[in-house]
Amino acid sequence: MCPSTPSDQHVHAPATSRIDVILGDVSARFARAGILDPRVDAELLVAHVLGVGRGEVQAAAIRAAEIDTVALERLMRLVERRAAREPLQHLTGVAPFRHLELSVGPGVFVPRPETEMVAQLAIDALRVSASPAPVAVDLGTGSGAIALAMATEVPHARVHAAENSVDAFIWAKENFARVNAPNARLVFADLADAFAELDRSVSVLVSNPPYVPTQAIPRDPEVRLYDPPEALYGGEDGLDVVRVLAGVGLRLLHPGGTIIIEHAELQGAPVREVLTAAGWRSAATHPDLTLRDRATTAIRP
Ligand code: GLN
């Protein structure tokens, strides 16, 4: 017999099929595993297994409704994996991003809520562009999140996205097909030399590059073990790719065009310095919804 705690046994073979009780047990299990929003993850996993929305799960819990055995077994297998800190989005296969639902899984960076605000900066810059068909570029698009948000929310823009990881590209391709925005195009390319045909014609260049300093290994297992390292680590100070973007942006953007780069909380000043030293004007850093510095913008002279 393998030793297990009473709570483990409980999760393996729940004494109940009542959704409200299961949600309580699973939340407690997730809390012990160090998951930040245990109840949210519990509700979303139940919703996934039942093929309904989270609100319906909450309603079912209030009614003390029951879950059938097959669904319960499936749920418990997913609960085990989530308790071992596999990302929720890998288990459900989807990640929300603004109004989109993107396919994600192993090999692609899971889109983050803070990047929704980076996409907002890009969308705003596109909307104020004087051009009737402004061109936007998303370098290192990953799942395609920022590019597809721009394409769908600014339909008069033309959006080009590049990704150079084979694994990530496969997910991006699926998402581009799923969203099917007529004004969005995806290419497999290195960000350093992507889109030579667009030189000096781009209005908005946006990127969520890898920016984690090599030594700053992320604490959360979901990030450390499941996000692709090439989407996370940006060299010793984390800014290797930012320096490349500063040069690529001068090539791609027309004068007056905007560059938007996501970065870590403490990288605002160094990113402004990189951009200003490369010749960019009006470098400005913007906070995310948790008031942490999250992105820097600048204007091409
Ligand atoms: N924000 C990411 C994290 O959660 C890092 C993303 C990146 O390097 N682009 O670790």
Q: Which atom of ligand 1 is nearest to the CA of 114?
A: 1
pLDDT digit string, tens, across residues 205-255: 999 999 999 999 999 999 999 999 999 999 999 999 999 999 999 999 999
Average pLDDT along the chain: 95
In this prediction, residue 91 has a pLDDT band, given cuts at 50, 70 and 90, of: very high
* CA 199 to ligand 1 centroid distance, Å: 28
Closest CA to 255 of 298, 285, 284: 298
User: What's the whole-number mean pLDDT along residues 132-152?
Assistant: 98
| Locus of tokens 């909307």 | 127
Which phi and psi (to 5°) does residue 201 adopt?
Answer: -120, 0
Average pLDDT for residues 55-81, to the nearest whole number?
97
Q: Is 288 helix (H, G, I), strand (E, B) or coil?
A: coil
Q: Is the pLDDT of residue 4 over 60?
A: no
Residue nearest to atom 4 of ligand 1 (CA): 223
Q: Is the CB of 295 under 6 A from ligand 1?
A: no
Going by C-alpha positions, the residue among 158, 142, 249 that lies closest to residue 150 is 158
How much is the pLDDT for 37? 96
Q: Which of 117, 211, 224 to mutate to test the pocket of ligand 1 (most atoms within 8 A of CB)?
A: 211
pLDDT per position as a tens digit, 165-216 = 999 999 999 999 999 999 999 999 999 999 999 999 999 999 999 999 999 9
Instruction: List Cα–Cα distances, 237 to 231, 234, 270, in angstroms.
Output: 15, 7, 9
Distance from the CA of 212 to the center of ligand 1, in angstroms? 6
Which residue has 């000043």 as its token pair? 269
Which residue type does 253 have?
L
Tell whether ligand 1 has an atom less than 6 A from the beta carbon of residue 210: yes
| Separation of alpha carbons 156 and 150, rounded Å | 10
Our mutation pick for probing the ligand 1 site, out of 214, 220, 227, counting the most ligand atoms within 8 A of Cβ, is: 227
* CA 154 to each of CA 119, 131, 181, 201, 280: distance values in angstroms, whole numbers, following the listed order: 11, 12, 11, 17, 25
Residue 246 is predicted with a pLDDT of 98
Q: What is the C-alpha to C-alpha distance for residues 21 and 104, in angstroms, rounded to an integer?
A: 30
Q: How far is the CA of 68 from the centre of ligand 1 (A)?
A: 39
CA distance 151 to 140: 16
CA of 21 to the centre of ligand 1 (A): 35
Q: How remote is the CA of residue 296 from the centroid of ligand 1, in Å?
A: 15
